[in-house]
Amino acid sequence: MQNIFLIGFMGAGKSTVAGWLNSRQGMRLVEMDQQIVQKEQMSISEIFETKGESYFRCLETGLLEELQDQKDTVVSCGGGVPMRQCNVDAMRRSGVVVYLSAEPETVYMRVKNNHDRPLLEGNMNVEYISGLLEKRLPAYLAAADVTVKTDGREVEEICLEILEKCREK
Ligand code: S3P
C-alpha cells in the first residue's frame, strides 16, 4: 500500500482517520504532532511558547524528511504542514496527499474543548477559524492529490472513500 499523507485544518479528523487506517487496514501510523512532542519532551503549546512557531515548523520539515523511506504508512500531518512548499514536495515524493475538508462550524465543534492548539488559544471562535481556513485553503487544495469531505460523516465512510480514491491514483 502506498503511503498516505493526511492534510487539513485542525479538527478535520486527520488523527481519527489515521487511527482507523492503522487499526483496520494495518497501515503503520505516524502522528506528526505526537512524534514531535516525544522528541522534544514538551507539549505543542510549550514548544510554541518557549521556542517559537518557526522552530516548530522546522521540526515538522525535519520529521517529514525522516519519513521519506517509510512504506505502508499513514501520516497524520499537523494542520500547518502544507504551508511550506518543501513539505508538499516531500509528501508528494513518497505518497498520496489526501486533503480532509471540514467547514469552520464543524472544526469549531471538534476543537472547542481542546487547549493544546496554540494558534486557537484566545481565538476559539468560528469567525477566526473561518478566516484562517480561507487563508490556507489554496495551499491545501494545491497540495492535495485527493480531497474528501468529513462534515457529518462517519469515519469508516470517509476512510473507504480515501482508499478508493487512492487506488485510482
Ligand atoms: C497546527 C495544527 C496542529 C499543530 C499545531 C499547529 C496548525 O495540529 O501542529 O498546533 O498550524 O494548523 P492538528 O492539525 O493535528 O491539530
Over residues 28-87, the pLDDT tens digits come to 999 999 999 999 999 999 999 999 999 999 999 999 999 999 999 999 999 999 999 999
For residue 136, give the ligand 1 atom closest to its CA. 12
Residues with CB under 6 A from ligand 1: 10, 14, 33, 44, 78-80, 117-119
For residue 118, give the ligand 1 atom closest to its CA. 10
| Rounded alpha-carbon distances, angstroms, from residue 137 to 5, 78, 117, 144, 160 | 17, 15, 19, 11, 24
Cα 160 from Cα 104, distance rounded (Å): 24
pLDDT digits (tens, 9 = 90+) for 111-126: 999 999 999 999 999 9
What is the residue with the minimal CA distance to atom 12 of ligand 1? 79
Q: What is the pLDDT of residue 49?
A: 97
Render the burial of 115-153: b for 16+ CB within 10 Å, e for the rest.
eebbebeeeeeeeebeebbeebeebbeebbbbbbebeee
Total-model pTM: 0.98
Q: What is the pLDDT of residue 1?
A: 84
Distance 166 CA to ligand 1 centre (A): 24
- Of 91, 96, 132, 97, whose CA–CA distance to 111 is shortest? 132
Which residue type does 47 have? I
Alpha carbons within 13 angstroms on the beta-carbon side of residue 42 total 12
For residue 11, give the ligand 1 atom closest to its CA. 16
What is the residue with the minimal CA distance to atom 4 of ligand 1? 78
Cα 77 from Cα 34, distance rounded (Å): 10
Cα 67 from Cα 38, distance rounded (Å): 16
What is the residue with the minimal CA distance to atom 3 of ligand 1? 78
DSSP-assigned letter for residue 146: E
What is the residue with the minimal CA distance to atom 9 of ligand 1? 78
